[in-house]
């Protein structure tokens, strides 16, 4: 396996950073993609995407429902799931199997196979795109098995949590 290089932009998710910038960049890409693909941007779709962008922690479907009702949306689980399915299908969000929860995509709209780094202490997630993760399969395995999608979840402890731990000891 080749070495995984972690870019600064990816590891920043675990540190204090200007999250307003993350939010704005993703929101802009979301709007642009919906416009280009002629996708209907309903208030509910926009709201759910916004919730998934809140911080870099994935949120579960029932948590989303809770937040929606607090904000005055009357949604039932099937409706929330339909919105999540839409966001995932269009490449705006991903499901994190480990948490059975969802997160906004860092590069919304493009088809890609993400690799996630997941901190088991703070539950934050950082997404690397295929290019950055360098986890590539050789041609032989590809001819034996046609890959339709690949989602890699790497579990560990981020630098911020690691430093906290050292201070405590």
Stretch in the footprint of Zn ion (CB under 5 A) among 14-22, 33-41, 135-143, 144-152: 14-22
For residue 88, how many other CB atoms are within 10 A of its CB? 14
Q: Select from 11-19, 65-73, 133-141, 146-154 the region that touches Zn ion (CB under 5 A).
A: 11-19
| Strands in 69-114 per DSSP E | 93-96, 101-104
Angle at 88 between CA 21 and CA 72, to 5 degrees: 70
Interaction of residue 122 with Zn ion, rule CB under 5 A: yes
Candidates 32-40, 69-77, 80-88, 107-115: pick the segment binding Zn ion (CB under 5 A). Answer: 107-115
Could you say whether residue 98 binds Zn ion (CB under 5 A)?
Answer: no
Q: Give the whole-angstrom CA distance, residue 152 versus residue 123.
A: 16
**Among positive and negative, which fits the CA dihedral 138, 141, 147, 149?**
negative
114 binds Zn ion (CB under 5 A): yes
Binding flag, residue 109, Zn ion (CB under 5 A): no
Asked whether the beta carbons of 108 and 45 are under 8 A apart, the reply is no
29 binds Zn ion (CB under 5 A): no
Site for Zn ion in 59-88 (CB under 5 A): none
Instruction: Give contact residues for Zn ion (rule: CB under 5 A).
Output: 19, 22, 105, 114, 119, 121-122, 158, 161
């Amino acid at each position: 396996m080749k070495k995984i290089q972690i870019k600064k932009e990816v590891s920043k998710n675990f540190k204090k950073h200007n999250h307003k910038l993350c939010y704005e960049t993703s929101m802009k890409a979301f709007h642009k993609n919906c416009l280009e693909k002629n996708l209907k941007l309903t208030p509910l779709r926009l709201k759910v995407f916004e919730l998934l962008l809140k911080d870099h922690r994935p949120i579960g479907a029932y948590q989303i429902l809770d937040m929606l009702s607090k904000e005055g949306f009357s949604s039932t689980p099937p409706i929330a799931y339909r919105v999540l399915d839409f966001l995932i299908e269009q490449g705006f969000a991903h499901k994190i199997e480990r948490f059975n929860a969802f997160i906004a995509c860092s590069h919304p709209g493009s088809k890609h196979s993400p690799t996630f780094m997941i901190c088991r202490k703070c539950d934050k997630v950082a997404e690397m795109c295929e290019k950055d993760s360098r986890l590539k399969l050789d041609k032989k395995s590809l001819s034996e098995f046609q890959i339709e999608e690949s989602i890699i979840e790497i579990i560990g402890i981020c630098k911020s949590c690691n430093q906290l731990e050292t201070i405590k000891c």
